[in-house]
């Protein structure tokens, strides 16, 4: 049901460490791309480690209610090492984890794209045309919070991996839909969904592959491909341009998406979207980077690219071209800035975060 709204409610949580810096950059860029606050209404809520320190709760009920009701959730970063619950776990990380499970954000989408002007450790041959998406199943697999079966004793410990038919079908379906939305992004114009697993060793992942194959029957226009996760790490270094959409189990997705990020400028350049049937949660792939917090030198591009993903997701979901066109302008501004060498410290430059944000806003002001 595509139904544009006049105005969309965005729940904003700035978070900890560099969270407020990169989040502020994302908000400024969205406002510049959409000509102010007319289309998106940003409301700020608290969660994370600082919130826990100040109020005794890391994820207040009011923040959860607002996130659940909002059209989308936009986040900086959460967590401060040493700010822990009495059991020693990091209080700040609860926000993202609880959102993921309580809102059933089953699809974790991590685009891997090498922008012009950004260097890559890959060979010249391999680095051309890196533009793929990793779709990580976000609620089960070897991080199966709902699986139980964990055992920790003095002499042995174990975890249980859970793959369900329903959980696999919905994420694989999402992979094919993403490939359609990308509309033949490969250089030869083809569409391809690669199922990344370990079907030769683990029964649960042989099942993942089988279910994926069944789902693929509904998408005859898209090529189906399989890769074992160990081989995948080699392919992503040697022939990344082969890939369009890669869909995989939770833990494998966690690992290969960090590998992918490292080939395109690192965590500071990598956006994330966590999507469910109703809610979407958008942030950069990096954490709160407490070592550089408050210095004004954080790389804001990952969060800004995540803002573009949010505009795209909202625009596509509601059939609202104002948003998808806004996303297009944000990406064009990012490409322009990077090409002109406006690079932060982690990319080898010396541009401060606010100079990058101003540059992006200036470019957007003449585009809108
Ligand atoms: P998390 O546990 O949330 O994944 P982490 O402990 O893996 O976080 P990050 O906070 O992601 O670690 O960052 C690791 C290091 O990378 C930081 O200490 C920082 O030096 C660098 N870094 C991360 N994000 C950025 C950024 N946006 N700009 C510049 N440097 C960054
Ligand atoms: Mg980490």
Q: Please tell me which residue in 37, 65, 218, 230 is annotated as part of the active site.
A: 230
Pocket-testing residue among 25, 287, 294, 347, ligand 1, by greatest number of atoms within 8 A of Cβ: 287
- Per the rule left: phi > 0, alpha: psi between -120 and 50, beta: everything else, 122 is beta
Please count the CA atoms within 13 angstroms of the CA of 222 that sit on its side-chain side.
Answer: 33
Q: Can you tell me the distance from the alpha carbon of 240 to that of 130, in angstroms, rounded to the nearest whole number?
A: 6
From the list 239, 112, 227, 106, the residue with the least C-alpha distance to 172 is 106
The listed CATH number (3.40.1550.10, 3.20.20.70, 3.30.540.10, 3.40.718.10) that belongs to domain 1-104+268-368: 3.40.718.10
Q: Which ligand is nearest the CA of 78, by number?
A: 1
Q: Measured from the CA of 301, which atom of ligand 1 is nearest? A: 27
Please tell me if the CB atom of residue 268 comes closer than 6 angstroms to any atom of ligand 1.
yes
pLDDT in tens, the chain (368 residues): 688 999 999 999 999 999 999 999 999 999 999 998 889 999 999 999 999 999 999 999 999 999 999 999 999 999 999 999 999 999 999 999 999 999 999 999 999 999 999 999 999 989 988 999 999 999 999 887 555 677 888 898 888 899 999 999 999 999 999 999 987 777 777 899 999 999 999 999 999 999 999 999 999 999 999 999 999 999 999 999 999 999 999 999 999 999 999 999 999 999 999 999 999 999 999 999 999 999 999 999 999 999 999 999 999 999 999 999 999 999 999 999 999 999 999 999 999 999 999 999 999 999 96
Task: Give the model confidence (pLDDT) of 252-302 as tens digits.
Answer: 999 999 999 999 999 999 999 999 999 999 999 999 999 999 999 999 999
The pLDDT assigned to 86 comes to: 94
**Which CATH architecture fits 120-264?**
3-Layer(aba) Sandwich (3.40)
- In the block, tokens 């939305």 appear at 181
Q: Can you tell me the distance from the alpha carbon of 176 to that of 140, in angstroms, rounded to the nearest whole number?
A: 20
Q: Can you tell me the distance from the alpha carbon of 331 to that of 315, in angstroms, rounded to the nearest whole number?
A: 15
Q: Measured from the CA of 77, which atom of ligand 1 is nearest? A: 3
> How would you class 233 by CB atoms within 10 Å of its CB: exposed for 0-12, middle for 13-18, buried for 19 or more?
middle
Q: Taking the mean position of all CA atoms in its chain, how far away is CA 335?
A: 19
* Closest protein CA for atom 12 of ligand 1: 287
Q: How far does the centroid of ligand 2 lie from the alpha carbon of residue 338, in Å?
A: 25
Q: Please tell me which residue in 16, 64, 71, 198 is annotated as part of the active site.
A: 198
Task: Give the model confidence (pLDDT) of 309-342 as tens digits.
Answer: 999 999 999 999 999 999 999 999 999 999 999 9
Strand partners, 108: 136, 274
From the list 80, 86, 128, 88, the residue with the least C-alpha distance to 238 is 128
The reply to whether 198 belongs to the active site is: yes
Please tell me if the CB atom of residue 292 comes closer than 6 angstroms to any atom of ligand 1.
yes
- Domain extents in the chain: 1-104+268-368, 120-264
């Amino acid at each position: 049901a595509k139904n544009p709204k006049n105005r969309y409610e965005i729940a904003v949580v700035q978070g900890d460490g560099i969270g407020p810096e990169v989040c502020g950059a994302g908000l400024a860029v969205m406002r510049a791309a959409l000509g102010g606050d007319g289309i998106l209404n940003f409301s700020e809520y608290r969660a994370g480690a600082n919130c826990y320190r100040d109020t005794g709760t890391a994820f207040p009920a009011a923040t959860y209610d607002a996130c659940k009701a909002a059209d989308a959730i936009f986040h900086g970063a959460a967590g401060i090492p040493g700010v822990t619950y009495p059991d020693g776990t990091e209080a700040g990380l609860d926000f993202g984890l609880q959102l993921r499970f309580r809102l059933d954000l089953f699809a974790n989408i991590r685009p891997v794209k090498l922008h012009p002007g950004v260097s890559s450790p890959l060979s010249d041959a391999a680095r051309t045309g890196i533009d793929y998406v990793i779709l990580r199943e976000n609620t089960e697999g070897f991080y199966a919070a709902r699986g139980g079966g964990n055992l920790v004793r003095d002499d042995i410990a174990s975890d249980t991996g859970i793959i369900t038919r329903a959980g696999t079908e919905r994420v694989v379906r999402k992979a094919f839909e993403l490939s359609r939305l990308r509309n033949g992004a490969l250089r030869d114009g083809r569409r391809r969904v690669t199922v990344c697993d370990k079907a030769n060793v683990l029964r649960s992942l042989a099942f993942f592959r089988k279910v994926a194959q069944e789902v693929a029957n509904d998408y005859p226009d898209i090529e189906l491909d399989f890769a074992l996760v160990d081989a995948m790490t080699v392919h992503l270094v040697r022939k990344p341009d082969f890939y369009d959409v890669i869909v995989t189990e939770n833990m494998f997705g966690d690992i290969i998406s960090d590998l992918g990020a490292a080939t395109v400028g690192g965590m500071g350049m990598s956006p994330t979207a966590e999507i469910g049937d109703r809610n979407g949660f958008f942030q950069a792939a990096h954490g709160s980077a407490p070592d550089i917090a408050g210095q004004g030198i954080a790389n804001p591009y990952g969060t800004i690219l995540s803002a573009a993903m949010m505009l795209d997701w909202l625009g596509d979901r509601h059939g609202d071209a104002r948003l998808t066109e806004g996303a297009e302008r944000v990406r064009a501004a990012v490409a322009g800035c990077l090409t002109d060498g406006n690079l932060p410290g982690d990319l080898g430059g010396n541009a401060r975060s606010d100079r990058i944000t101003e540059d992006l806003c200036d470019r957007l002001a003449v585009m809108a």
